[in-house]
Amino acid sequence: MHSSILGRPGLEAIDIAALLFLAALAAGFVDSIAGGGGLIAIPALLWAGLGPVETLATNKAQAVFGSGTAALNFIRQGAVDPRAASLAVLFTFVGAASGALLVQQVDSSALGRLIPLLLIGFALYFLFSPRVSDLDSHERLSGPAFALTVGLGVGFYDGVFGPGTGTFFAMGYVALMGYNLRRATAHSKLLNLVSNLAALLFFLPGGHIDWSIAAVMALGQAAGAWLGSHLVIRHGAALVRPVLVLASLAISAKLLLDQLG
């Protein structure tokens, strides 16, 4: 692996570090509310000069701190019961690990074409469905069935591809488990932490992580996630619904532009 960009002398390294910190701060904030923080963090890592594999690996290393901070805050606020979510955690880890192991043998281009359409559909759902509120609704799927389908499936998706993972988890909790939007967002951060950890464990042996950059961005991620998760607890659907819609549309636009480019 090349020497870290932050190893450059003088103000250049300080400027790069400051910009990466601010990018991670924004990514952690957005991701803790609606997902999609990778749209900010990954371009920042590429701009800093990391290669594609190093970018993906370093992104997982710093994103763990954002999703971990948000998940811990939600647990401490009583928005998540880890024991009740344990089966979903297990299947999410298995799915993400499997996806990360198989990613080199799976053609993700088909996913790249399909995901924007799904996310646009999700944006419309979050915008117009009466189920998306601060009130719980009817449960359509049992906990074990949810773990086996959404936990395993979205976890696998995060290991293979990734964009919009938090949105997919939140969508599953709202539409299938009947969770209110505050509770769905809280649980989605727990599962997103697990999928990030599984992918990170896969990247560790390859030596592709730039730890100096990951450390700087981890601080920004943690600060942004702490702030965003507190706002979710305080404002609920009034905050999460519009941010989820905007994040879904932004991820869709980015993926569609990448395909056209």
What is the per-residue DSSP string for the chain?
Answer: -PPPGGGS-HHHHHHHHHHHHHHHHHHHHHHHHHS-THHHHHHHHHHTT--HHHHHHHHHHHHHHHHHHHHHHHHHTTS--TTTTHHHHHHHHHHHHHHHHHGGGS-THHHHHHHHHHHHHHHHHHHH-TTSSSS-----S-HHHHIIIIIHHHHHHHHHT-TTHHHHHHHHHHHTT---HHHHHHHHHHHHHHHHHHHHHHHGGGT---HHHHHHHHHHHHHHHHHHHHHHHHHTHHHHHHHHHHHHHHHHHHHHHHHH-
Position 1 scores a pLDDT of 46
Position 111 scores a pLDDT of 56
Closest to 168 (Cα-Cα) out of 111, 232, 220 = 111
**Pairs from 78-86 (Cβ < 8 Å, separation ≥ 24):** 79/182, 79/183, 79/186, 79/187, 79/233, 80/183, 80/186, 80/187, 80/189, 80/190, 82/190, 84/143, 85/187, 85/190, 85/191
Beta carbons of 202 and 160 less than 8 angstroms apart = no
Position 259 scores a pLDDT of 76
Position 4 scores a pLDDT of 64
Position 78 scores a pLDDT of 93
Q: What is the CA radius of gyration of the chain?
A: 17
pTM for the whole structure: 0.82
Print the domain residue range for 50.
Answer: 5-260
Kindly report the backbone phi and psi dihedral angles of residue 2, in degrees, each rounded to the nearest multiple of 5, phi listed first.
-70, 160
Average pLDDT of adjacent 10-residue blocks, the chain of 261 residues? 57 83 94 83 86 84 95 94 93 92 62 69 72 72 94 89 82 91 93 93 85 95 96 86 81 80 66
The number of distinct structural domains making up the chain is: 1
Position 72 scores a pLDDT of 95
